[in-house]
Structure 1
Amino acid sequence: MPKFSEAIAPSQAFLYGEHAVLYGSPALAMSVDVKTRARVTEVEDRIIEIRSDRFPEGLRWRYDEEQPEENPLLPLAYGLRDLMKRYEFNKGLIVEISSDVPVNSGMASSASVSAAISAAFLSLVGESPEKYLLLDIVYEFERRIHGRASKTGPACAVLGGLVWVEWRDGNMEVSRIDSKDDLSIVISCSGLPSETKKLVSMVSKRYNEIRDVMDRIMHAISALTVEGRRAIEKRDLVRAGELMNINHGLLSAIGVSNYVLDEIVWTMRRLGAYGAKLSGAGGGGCVIGLSENPEVLAKNLSASYPSFAAKVSLEGARVIR
Structure 2
Amino acid sequence: MIVAIVETCSASAPAKVIITGEHWVVHGSAALAAAVGLRSRVKCMEARGPGITIKSLRLGSFTFTLGQDSCRGPHCGFYYAASRIVEVCGEAKPATCIVDSDIPIGAGLGSSASVAVSFSAAYLALCRGGKDLSLSDVSNAASGFEKFVHGNPSGIDTAVVLHGGFIVYRRGEGIIMRINESLADTDAVVLIVDTGIARSTKEAVAAFTQNLSRLGSFSKILVNLAEQITWEVVGSLKARDTKRLGSLLYLSHGLLSALGVSHEKLEEIVQAARAEGALGAKLTGAGMGGTALVLAAREHSHRLEKIYESKGFKVYKATLGVPGLQINCDVSGRAAMVEGT
Q: 2:168 aligns with which of 164, 167, 174?
A: 164
Map of 2:100 onto structure 1: 98
1:203 is matched with which residue?
208
CA contact (8 A) 2:18 2:33 kept: yes
- Relative distance call for 1:235 and 1:194 in structure 2 (3 A) is farther
Q: Deviations over 1:109-130 (max 9, x none)?
A: 1111011112212221233434
> Counterparts of 2:80 and 2:141 in 1: how far apart (Å)?
13
Name the counterpart of 1:317: 325
Quote the offset at 1:254 in angstroms: 1.2
Contact in 2 for aligned 1:31/1:312 (Cα 8 Å):
yes
What does 1:1-321 align with in structure 2 at a 5 Å threshold? Answer: 3-56=7-60, 58-64=61-67, 70-124=72-126, 125=128, 126-166=130-170, 171-180=173-182, 182=184, 184-293=189-298, 294-304=301-311, 305-321=313-329
Q: Distance in 1 between matches of 2:247 and 2:136?
A: 33
Counterpart-to-counterpart distance in 2, 1:65 and 1:153: 28
What SS does the aligned partner of 2:99 have?
strand
**Larger deviation, residues 110-119 vs 78-87:** 78-87
Where 2:318 maps in the other structure, the secondary structure is strand
Q: Deviations over 1:201-246 (max 9, x none)?
A: 2222333333323322222211111101110111111111100000
CA distance in 1, matches of 2:302, 2:36: 15
Judging changes above 3 Å, is the alpha-carbon distance between structure 1 residues 295 and 219 closer, same or farther for their aligned structure 2 residues?
Answer: same
The SS at the match of 1:263 is helix
Q: Aligned equivalents of 1:243 and 1:181: distance in 2?
A: 16
AA matched with 2:110:
A
What CA deviation, in whole Å up to 9, does each residue of 1:167-217 have, x standing for no partner?
6xx533443211247275100001111311121122223333333233222
SS of residue matched to 2:297:
coil
Aligned-pair identity in percent equals 28
In structure 1, distance between residues paired with 2:204 and 2:118: 25
- Specify the SS of the correspondent of 1:40: strand
Question: 1:82 and 1:282 mapped to 2: Cα distance?
Answer: 30
Q: How many residues align?
A: 317
CA distance in 1, matches of 2:114, 2:315: 20
Hey, what's the Cα distance between the residues in 2 that align with 1:133 and 1:181?
32
What residue in structure 1 maps to residue 339 of structure 2? none
SS at match of 2:109: coil
1:199, 1:236 → 2: CA distance? 31
CA separation of 1:191 and 1:136: change in aligned 2, threshold 3 A: same
CA positional deviation for 1:132: 4.8
Distance 2:68 2:144 in 1: 24
> Is there any run of 5+ residues in structure 1 with no aligned partner, and where?
none
For residue 278 of structure 1, report the CA deviation from its aligned partner: 0.4
> What is the CA-CA distance between 1:32 and the residue it aligns to?
0.1
Contact kept in structure 2, 1:185 and 1:311, CA below 8 Å: yes
Change (3 A) 1:188 1:209: same
| CA positional deviation for 1:60 | 2.0
Task: After TM superposition, give the deviation of residue 87 of structure 1 in Å.
Answer: 1.3
Cα distance change of structure 1 residues 295 and 138 upon mapping to structure 2, 3 Å threshold = farther
Change (3 A) 1:46 1:209: farther
Instruction: Describe the shift of the 1:315–1:295 C-alpha distance in structure 2 as closer, same or farther (beyond 3 A).
Output: farther
5+ long unaligned stretches in structure 2: 330-341
Using the alignment, how far apart are the partners of 2:261 and 2:11 within structure 1?
A: 33
Q: TM-score, normalised by structure 1?
A: 0.90
Cα deviation, 1:270-314, whole Å, max 9, x if unaligned, reads 233201000001111000111122455334322221112110243
Change (3 A) 1:209 1:46: farther
Paired amino acid for 1:16: T
Q: Given residue 36 of structure 1, which amino acid in structure 2 is its aligned partner?
A: S
Tell me, yes or no, if the aligned pair for 2:43 and 2:99 is still in contact at 8 Å. yes
Residues 124 and 138, structure 2, Cα contact 8 Å, conserved in 1: no
